[in-house]
Amino acid sequence: MSNTSNQPSGVANQVPPRSKNAFWPVLNIALGAAFCAVFGMWLLPIEQAAMLGILIFCAALWATSYVPEFWPAIALFAFITVTQIAPGNIVLSGFESSTFWLLFSGMVFGAAIKFTGLNQKAAGLLIQVLGASYRSVITRTAFFGVLLGFLIPSGIGRVVLLIPIVVAIADQLGYEEESKGRYGMLLAASFGTFLPSFAILPANAPNMLLSGISEALYDNPLSYWDYLLLHFPVLGLTKTIVLIAVVLWLFPAQDPSHQMKPVNAHPQDSCFSRKEKQLLLILVLCFVAWLTDSLHHVSPGWIGLVACAVCLWPNSGLTSEHCLSKDINYGPLFFAAGIIGLGATIAYTGLGETMVNALTQVAPFVEGEHALNLALITGISILVGLVANLAGIPAIITPLAADLADITGLSSHAIVMSEVMAFSSVFLPYQAPPLITAIALGKLPLAAVSKVCIILFVITVLGLLPLNFLWWQINGML
């Protein structure tokens, strides 16, 4: 069930124009995947060859977006359960994962924030702290986006919340449509709430998929605090500073020409209502519980589910009566479950181990050279992300982690964590649905977003990843 009726028209119309004419492209992809499966039977066992075809089929559909993201997942569930390539509890394991329920909780939080009007208060607070110069506007907008990454565990949810707010603020500051100042603000918001948040465990889909698959395959739930400590200093904080510098360089503009006006006409409107205070308290307590999960060992997904249950309590006034039937888009949930189930099925059929053997013949791993081996693993993961989108990285690489650890001498935990460096390196917008959403909502030109992506990708690969390797050495990961 979709909530497109409650979304801005840019979001609601993203997929349908392509899906109307999707029959022939999808048929071609299916035929290509079937050909690969048949050809693979000459080299692989039947189950692995069939799984290779399924992997190509799903990855191609997720990469091209010819159909909504949930459809390949449902097709995966149907095909695997009918053919019995893997048991139902394997391919459907995503629905049992704490990651699935963390994503669900994030959607409920987003609906509650909108229903209570807490997003309007956020707009009022944001415009009061942006400052009077263009440089301060860009800097504080980007860091506000990072802050949202700690509060709302959904990249698209944060974009849908933040971009309309920034559009309204840009109008008030005098930055007209198609002006560099307006583009700069929107890009700072879009990238600020998306790229650095890969360093925050429950903030984006690939993070949660990585956590879910790792937990399902290796019984190793990731710690919120350890994950944050390992990734945020370089991939979060430092990348945000680099982002701000890139936006200011590519989109220079004059300081705001209009005097900023208070969003609320009456002083009493700026006070939080009782329901807003209740929701804010729930979100703060939830965040504290996430931050301290290394002490109580309760998965972030189950913590989010408890908070979600409180928000959905009948007559609580925190969500609408029709929240689950109208306000929640279930497509991303099936997509997440599909990715987790795909990874589990790849591992079950042994296709992952076969792929590892092929990779070791190409990648020049050197025993004892941990930095080189880590760089090669990261490079392979980045290539996977170019083909299968960012969410495909944890689906394909995580099932190989144990075998790659044996080959490289790195720990399986280091292999899993290296994926974060890969899916936080976005080369083009098509890899990242939140960026596509930002393009639609903010009327951003694809060329401008692509330029920022490419420049940040180059800086990340040449500068930030080596710096992150050094940080890992300091923390004893290498």
Number of Cα atoms under 13 Å in the Cβ half of residue 407: 23
Q: Pick the residue with more confidence: 126 or 448?
A: 448
Chain segment 404-432, per-residue pLDDT in tens: 888 888 888 899 999 999 999 998 786 78
Query: According to the model, what pLDDT value does residue 9 have?
Result: 36
Look up the pTM and report it: 0.69
Taking the C-alpha atoms of residue 448 and residue 452, their distance in angstroms, rounded to an integer, is: 6
Say if residues 92 and 226 touch (Cβ distance below 8 Å). Answer: no
Question: Ranked by mean pLDDT, which of 54-58, 113-117, 151-155, 339-343 comes out on top?
Answer: 54-58
Query: According to the model, what pLDDT value does residue 123 have?
Result: 64
User: Which residue reads 């300091």 in tokens?
Assistant: 474
Give the tokens for residue 225. Answer: 């605090």
Number of Cα atoms under 13 Å in the Cβ half of residue 66: 17
Q: What crossing angle do the helices spanning 446-459 and 180-192 adopt, rounded to 10°? A: 50
CA distances, 311 to each of 54, 112, 116, 154, 287 (Å) = 38, 7, 11, 17, 15
Taking the C-alpha atoms of residue 317 and residue 51, their distance in angstroms, rounded to an integer, is: 47
pLDDT, the chain, mean: 83
Residues 6+ apart with CB under 8 A from 343: 209, 213, 216, 217, 394, 395, 396, 398, 399
pLDDT band for 376, please (50, 70, 90 cuts).
Answer: very high
Q: What crossing angle do the helices spanning 205-218 and 331-349 adopt, rounded to 10°? A: 40
Determine the residue type at 18.
Answer: R
Q: Pick the residue with more confidence: 286 or 3?
A: 286
- pLDDT, mean of residues 462-469: 94
- pLDDT, mean of residues 392-410: 84
* pLDDT(12) > 60: no
Query: According to the model, what pLDDT value does residue 397 have?
Result: 86
pLDDT band for 297, please (50, 70, 90 cuts).
Answer: confident
Say if residues 119 and 161 touch (Cβ distance below 8 Å). Answer: yes
Query: According to the model, what pLDDT value does residue 186 have?
Result: 95
Residues 6+ apart with CB under 8 A from 181: 134, 170, 173, 175, 251, 253, 254, 256
Give the closest residue to 418 by CA, choosing from 355, 383, 374. Answer: 374
Taking the C-alpha atoms of residue 278 and residue 319, their distance in angstroms, rounded to an integer, is: 12
**Domain coordinates of the chain in residue numbers?**
14-84, 86-474
Give the tokens for residue 235. Answer: 């991939």
Give the tokens for residue 96. Answer: 């049992």
Q: In residues, how long is the chain?
A: 478
Taking the C-alpha atoms of residue 250 and residue 184, their distance in angstroms, rounded to an integer, is: 8
* pLDDT(351) > 50: yes
pLDDT band for 313, please (50, 70, 90 cuts).
Answer: very high
Chain segment 49-106, per-residue pLDDT in tens: 999 999 889 888 876 778 887 899 999 999 999 999 999 999 999 898 877 887 788 7
